[in-house]
A and B are shown apart, each in its own frame.
Chain A
């Protein structure tokens, strides 16, 4: 079972470049999330999509945009990358209609901004 798939796994960018991180889930979940994880800071929510067609800001949305392309896919875009965006990015999905179900995470995209 694939679960949550993130691409790419690694990326190096120069300051000012743009890129899109891709995320797809095959569990038919309604909700999807983007987090970033930095040393000493833990996982912080960037954006989430409670259902297809909706997106909302999380704790640290500045410098990012998201698109919920369809029920399966949720992308994160950096329009003009900055060194402060060097981080590990995790996508997750869940089915909140079932409160006993947890969020499922991908294995992350490791992004370095030079």
Chain B
């Protein structure tokens, strides 16, 4: 069974303190690995799609990387506005998404 596991469940950082979130997956023949950000009371907002091992994508303070079994979301010098839940997912048949449970990030001033 395809599983997507995220760690840690929760992470508290000081402003400027860089760190990484992990997403591991078990499916073979990956057809994409998606990262989303979700703010309280809102729907998930798309960040990145990665397709092949070694691929990297960046957006502001975020950089997503992909290996054969896991993906990392690196957060460099985070700001309080980066506080959110970060979700990763891989595709199911029919192009629906199989989500991990998310990492709740809190960045304090």
CB within 8 Å of B: which residues of A?
A: 4, 31, 33, 35, 40-45, 48, 50, 56, 58, 90, 92, 94, 96, 99-100, 102-108
Assembly CA distance A42 to B90 (angstroms):
13
B37 to chain A, nearest CB (A): 11
Chain A's interface: helix, strand, loop or mixed, by majority?
strand
Given A40-B101, A43-B87, A43-B99: A105 and B44 interface contact (C-beta under 8 Å): yes
| Residue B41 is within 8 A (CB to CB) of chain A in the complex | yes
Assembly CA distance A58 to B42 (angstroms):
22
Summed over the interface, the residue pairs from A and B with CB atoms below 8 Å come to a total of: 58
Which residues of A are found within 8 Å of B98, using beta-carbon distances?
Answer: 45
Assembly CA distance A48 to B100 (angstroms):
19
A70 to chain B, nearest CB (A): 19
| Residue B92 is within 8 A (CB to CB) of chain A in the complex | yes
Which residues of A are found within 8 Å of B41, using beta-carbon distances?
Answer: 107-108
| Residue B43 is within 8 A (CB to CB) of chain A in the complex | yes
Return 6 A-B CB contacts under 8 Å, by A number: A41-B101, A42-B100, A43-B44, A99-B32, A102-B46, A106-B43
